[in-house]
Amino acid sequence: MTGEMDRLIDIFIETTRPDIALLTRAMQSGDLSTVSRIAHKVKAGAGSLYANGLARMLSALEREAASANLETSIGLAGRVPPEFEAVCAALLDERAARTEGGK
């Protein structure tokens, strides 16, 4: 199970980092449709790894972008990249602690 969880963490980080960059570019260009679509996609992955804060943030961004609420979407979108990086760090720290504990 540990190997499988490590694999899921790696896949999440590797596939989500480009999505976060795309979300940021879409937000900068005002493409709220793309923002909503990417927020939905990333939300699912975050939820599967129990990154509930990130998943809730993405859910709100998805909803606001779909409603064409530009101002709120800009605020939420700006918080997503640092939250994603915090989640990545926490997942990798947890994995390192698990690995050290298993030695």
Q: What CATH number is associated with residue 40? A: 1.20.120
Give pLDDT tens digits for 46-69. 999 999 999 999 999 999 999 999
Cα–Cα distance for residue pair 4/89, rounded to 1 Å: 18
Total structural domains within the chain: 1
| Averages of pLDDT over each 10 residues, the chain, 103 residues | 87 97 97 97 95 98 97 96 98 90 60
Domain residues for the domain of 72 are 2-101
DSSP string, the chain: -HHHHHHHHHHHHHHHHHHHHHHHHHHHTT-HHHHHHHHHHHHHHHHHTT-HHHHHHHHHHHHHHHTT-HHHHHHHHHHHHHHHHHHHHHHHHHHHHHHHHT-
